[in-house]
């Protein structure tokens, strides 16, 4: 890779501010970049590094006003993170010109499976009976696709993913290693003798299009009906999605969050890491849930931010935290009042 500021501006439909011939051969974080590096500024938290970075070219917001002169050539664009992401796509494609294709002789494919062109099935991958795989589907080594599963065009299933029987995965999805789709929901009926009887989980999981799921996450099958993850949802690593949960379009959920059974998360929500949702509630569209929150009730107001356990409005939760921190002062004020009142009582026997 060897690109000039001018070439980058053309690729990204931006404008150059500085030397258009400044050239880069690698990509680095703004705080670590050396001469010859391309970097970008999207998070204002990193703005001070503008004046110290050795990067040769920087992608910055078009509205950026410099407080001091800087060495790097700037490429100004409306949305630096998005522009940078597009550039990474270009670089990524340069590196990965050839995609895996073909069926490895050490794989297992039941003869009644339906496969279309462009399919890759890696070594030690297992494709069960009646499976339907769309065009350009990539099943990496050691993945397991159970009987009667359907997977849409261009979906990538990485090494070691397990998809239980009857589940459906849409087109243009990416599922990372170690994720389990369709294992039994956690349902047990208590018996009088203290033991539990398993409630069979006869439903499935339905995943829409353009969904990405990270590593080692778990999406349980429904008791009956379907656990549903709709188009454009992005799930991080180590996430728990219980039986009969529904996650609506374009919701993004960070790592280690858990969603209990039958809860419904609205569209365009952003959920931080290590959040917990109790079962049988619903969360309004556009909700933002802060990391480590515990959500115990249905949220009906759309587009609000929530924090804490039990989760309350973001501002309220911060006010409460501040008041808790002020408790020593409050106690001191009460102490002072007690002294004054004692004195007053002595004066007024």
- Which residues are the active-site residues? 243
Helices 327-347 + 314-325 axis angle, to 10: 50
Site for a copy of itself in 325-344 (CB under 8 A): 325-328, 330-331, 333-334, 337-338, 340-341, 344
CA within 13 Å, CB half, 86: 13
Stretch that binds a copy of itself, among 10-18, 25-33, 56-64, 68-76 (CB under 8 A): 25-33
- Which CB, 5 or 173, lies closer to a copy of itself? 173
196 lines the binding site for a copy of itself (CB under 8 A) = yes
Quick one: which of 154, 155, 260, 263 contacts a copy of itself (CB under 8 A)? 260
Selected binder of a copy of itself within 63, 68, 98, 348 (CB under 8 A): 348
Using CA atoms, how far apart are residues 240 and 245, in angstroms rounded to an integer?
A: 10
Q: Backbone phi, then psi, for 114, in 5-degree steps? A: -105, 125
Choose the stretch contacting a copy of itself; rule: CB under 8 A; options: 3-11, 13-21, 51-59, 171-179.
171-179
Distance CA 124, CA 263 (A): 36
Shortest Å distance, C-beta 102 to a copy of itself: 13
306 in contact with a copy of itself (CB under 8 A): no
Is residue 43 a contact residue for a copy of itself (CB under 8 A)?
yes
Task: Name which of 70, 63, 64, 77 is nearest 10 in CA terms.
Answer: 77
Stretch that binds a copy of itself, among 4-12, 59-67, 113-121, 249-257 (CB under 8 A): 249-257
Nearest distance from residue 63's CB to a copy of itself, in Å?
17
Picking from 257, 153, 243, the residue whose alpha carbon sits closest to that of residue 213 is: 257
215/213 Cα distance (integer angstroms) = 7
User: Nearest-CA neighbor of 84 among 159, 181, 11?
Assistant: 11
Pairing of strands 212-213, 174-175: parallel
Around 181, how many Cα atoms within 13 Å sit in the side-chain half-sphere? 37
Neighbours of 260 (CB within 10 A): 19
# residues contacting a copy of itself (CB under 8 A): 116
Query: Are 76 and 58 contacting, i.e. CB atoms less than 8 angstroms apart?
Result: no
Site for a copy of itself in 110-169 (CB under 8 A): 122-124, 126, 140-142, 144, 146, 158-160, 162, 164
Strand partners, 320: none
Q: How far is the CB of 69 from a copy of itself (least distance, A)?
A: 26
User: CA nearest 220: which of 229, 210, 208, 211?
Assistant: 229
- Which of 70, 215, 284, 288 forms a contact with a copy of itself (CB under 8 A)? 215
Choosing from 6, 7, 130, 268, the residue that interacts with a copy of itself (CB under 8 A) is: 268
State which residue, 22 or 213, has the beta carbon closest to a copy of itself. 213
Query: To the nearest whole angstrom, how small is the minimum distance from the Cβ of residue 244 to a copy of itself?
Result: 7
Report whether 219 contacts 227 (CB < 8 A). Answer: yes
| Calpha distance 129→114 (Å, rounded) | 9
Which of 17, 150, 220, 248 lies at the binding interface for a copy of itself (CB under 8 A)? 220
Distances (CA, A) of 182 to 20, 34, 45, 57, 201: 53, 47, 41, 46, 10
C-beta of 78: minimal distance to a copy of itself in Å?
A: 10
Select the residue interacting with a copy of itself from 23, 56, 154, 223 (CB under 8 A): 223
* Ranges within 46-105 binding a copy of itself (CB under 8 A): 79, 81-82, 84-86, 88-89, 91-92, 95, 104
Q: Where in 2-21 is the site for a copy of itself (CB under 8 A)?
A: none
């Amino acid at each position: 890779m060897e690109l000039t500021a001018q070439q980058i501006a053309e690729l990204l439909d931006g404008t150059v501010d500085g030397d258009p011939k400044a050239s880069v051969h690698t990509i680095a974080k703004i705080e670590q970049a050396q001469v010859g590096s391309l970097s970008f500024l999207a998070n204002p938290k990193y703005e001070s590094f503008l004046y110290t970075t050795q990067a040769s070219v920087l992608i910055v917001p078009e509205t950026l006003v410099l407080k001091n002169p800087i060495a790097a050539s700037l490429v100004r664009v409306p949305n630096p993170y998005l522009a940078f992401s597009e550039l990474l796509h270009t670089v990524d494609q340069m590196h990965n010109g050839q995609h895996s294709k073909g069926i490895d002789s050490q794989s297992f494919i039941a003869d009644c499976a339906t496969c279309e062109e462009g399919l890759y099935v890696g070594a030690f991958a297992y494709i069960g009976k009646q499976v339907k795989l769309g065009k350009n589907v990539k099943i990496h080594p050691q993945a397991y696709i159970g009987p009667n599963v359907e997977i849409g065009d261009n979906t990538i299933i990485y090494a070691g993913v397990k998809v239980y029987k009857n589940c459906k995965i849409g087109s243009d999805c990416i599922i990372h290693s170690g994720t389990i789709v369709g294992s039994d929901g956690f349902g047990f009926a208590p018996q009088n003798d203290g033991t539990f009887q398993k409630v069979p989980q006869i439903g499935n999981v339905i995943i829409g299009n353009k969904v990405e799921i990270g590593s080692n996450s778990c999406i349980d099958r429904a008791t009956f009906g379907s656990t549903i993850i709709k188009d454009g949802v992005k799930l991080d690593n180590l996430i728990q999605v219980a039986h009969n949960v529904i996650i609506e379009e374009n919701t993004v959920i960070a790592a280690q969050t858990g969603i209990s059974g039958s809860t419904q998360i609205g569209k365009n929500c952003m959920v931080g890491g290590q959040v917990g949702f109790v079962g049988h509630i619903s969360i309004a569209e556009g909700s933002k849930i802060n990391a480590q929150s515990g959500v115990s009730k249905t949220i009906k107001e759309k587009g609000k931010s929530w924090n804490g356990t039990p989760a309350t409005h973001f501002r309220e939760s911060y006010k409460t935290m501040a008041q808790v921190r002020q408790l020593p002062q409050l106690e001191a004020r009460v102490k002072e009042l007690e002294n004054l009142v004692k004195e007053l009582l002595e004066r007024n026997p």
